[in-house]
């Protein structure tokens, strides 16, 4: 069974998706990590500038993803990405999110990463996957789809806290501007824009705890599947 969680940055979908995967005993796929990792690798290992990320060489993308060095895994409740070494912690930086936003605009990049995700699903079979086009594009036939959102103000505050944990201080204005810019880019891109998938359940996390959201989602999944 495939369960998808789509939504904008800072909505809480990663936290909730991991909780859901752990509760159900499913494999967890953070599709955003794939795009972040690709952007990070192209910058750090292939010498790309942000401008070059806007027009990547597809041969570089194929080399990166198909070389056998790129591996996504989920073990012991932790999602990891390897490219010759564990690069997971580097993917949480705000600038790497910008890399992902730039690289994800390209149809060819998206298609190869869509194939990567579908291959994982075929292997794992039971999976909770979260991102920005999981229910609308990658797994449009998923049994249960959620769209997770929250107010822009709350998402900006969450971004501040997340970056503070990584030792990077953002003002509220900087965080809000990042959220606004990323939302606009995701919603207006030509290929697989951020939308509410057909048949999804909309959940606003602004005024609810993760545990409250989890309980609500589990009830919806139980009703859809007959049992958990």
Please indicate, yes or no, if residue 225 is contained in any of the structural domains: no
Tokens 């795009």 belong to: 35
**Per-residue model confidence as pLDDT tens digits over 7-51:** 998 899 999 999 999 999 999 999 999 999 999 999 999 999 999
Decide: helix, strand or coil at residue 65.
helix
Please indicate, yes or no, if residue 228 is contained in any of the structural domains: no
Backbone conformation region of residue 47, classed left if phi is above 0, alpha if psi is from -120 to 50, else beta: left
pTM above 0.85, yes or no: yes
Please indicate, yes or no, if residue 221 is contained in any of the structural domains: no
Instruction: Name the pLDDT band for 191 (thresholds 50, 70, 90).
Output: confident
Q: What integer is the mean pLDDT of 174-201? A: 89
Could you give the CA distance from residue 79 to residue 71 in angstroms, rounded to a whole number?
11
Q: What integer is the mean pLDDT of 72-98? A: 93
Please indicate, yes or no, if residue 72 is contained in any of the structural domains: yes
Long-range contacts for 189-195 (Cβ within 8 Å, ≥24 apart)? Answer: 189/104, 189/105, 190/105, 190/107, 191/105, 191/106, 191/107, 191/110, 192/110, 192/132, 192/133, 192/136, 192/137, 193/133, 194/6, 194/7, 194/8, 194/132, 194/133, 195/136
Residues 80/86, Cβ–Cβ less than 8 Å: yes
Instruction: Name the pLDDT band for 86 (thresholds 50, 70, 90).
Output: very high
Please check the confidence at residue 227 and state whether its pLDDT lies above 90: no
- What's the chain's Rg over C-alpha atoms? 17
* Domain residue limits at 166: 2-216
Please indicate, yes or no, if residue 41 is contained in any of the structural domains: yes
Of 55, 76, 71, 95, which is closest to residue 178 (Cα–Cα)? 95
State how many domains the chain has: 1
Please indicate, yes or no, if residue 223 is contained in any of the structural domains: no
Please check the confidence at residue 67 and state whether its pLDDT lies above 90: no
Please indicate, yes or no, if residue 69 is contained in any of the structural domains: yes
Which CATH number goes with the domain that contains 86? 3.40.50.300
Mean pLDDT of the chain: 92
Range of lowest pLDDT (137-151, 185-199, 209-223): 185-199
Residues 210/15, Cβ–Cβ less than 8 Å: yes
For residue 131, the model assigns a pLDDT of 93
Decide: helix, strand or coil at residue 2.
strand
Please check the confidence at residue 166 and state whether its pLDDT lies above 90: no
Please indicate, yes or no, if residue 102 is contained in any of the structural domains: yes
């Amino acid at each position: 069974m495939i369960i998808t969680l789509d939504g904008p940055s800072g909505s809480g979908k990663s936290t909730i998706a991991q909780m859901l995967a752990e509760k159900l005993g499913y494999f967890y796929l953070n599709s955003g990590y794939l795009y972040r990792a690709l952007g990070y690798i192209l910058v750090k290992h292939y010498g790309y500038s942000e401008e070059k990320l806007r027009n990547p060489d597809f041969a570089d993308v194929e080399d990166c993803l198909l070389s056998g060095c790129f591996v996504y895994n989920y073990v012991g409740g932790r999602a990891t990405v390897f490219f010759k070494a564990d690069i997971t912690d580097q993917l949480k930086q705000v600038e790497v999110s910008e890399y992902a936003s730039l690289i994800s605009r390209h149809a060819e990049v998206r298609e190869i990463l869509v194939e990567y995700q579908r291959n994982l699903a075929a292997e794992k079979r039971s999976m909770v996957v979260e991102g920005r086009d999981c229910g609308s594009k990658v797994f449009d036939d998923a049994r249960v789809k959620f769209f997770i959102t929250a107010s822009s103000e709350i998402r900006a505050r969450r971004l501040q806290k997340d970056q503070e944990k990584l030792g990077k201080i953002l003002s509220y204005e900087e965080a809000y501007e990042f959220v606004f810019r990323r939302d606009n880019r995701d919603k207006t891109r030509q290929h697989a824009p951020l939308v509410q998938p057909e048949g999804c359940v909309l959940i606003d996390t602004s005024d609810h705890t993760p545990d409250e959201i989890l309980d609500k989602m589990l009830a919806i999944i139980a009703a859809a599947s007959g049992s958990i």
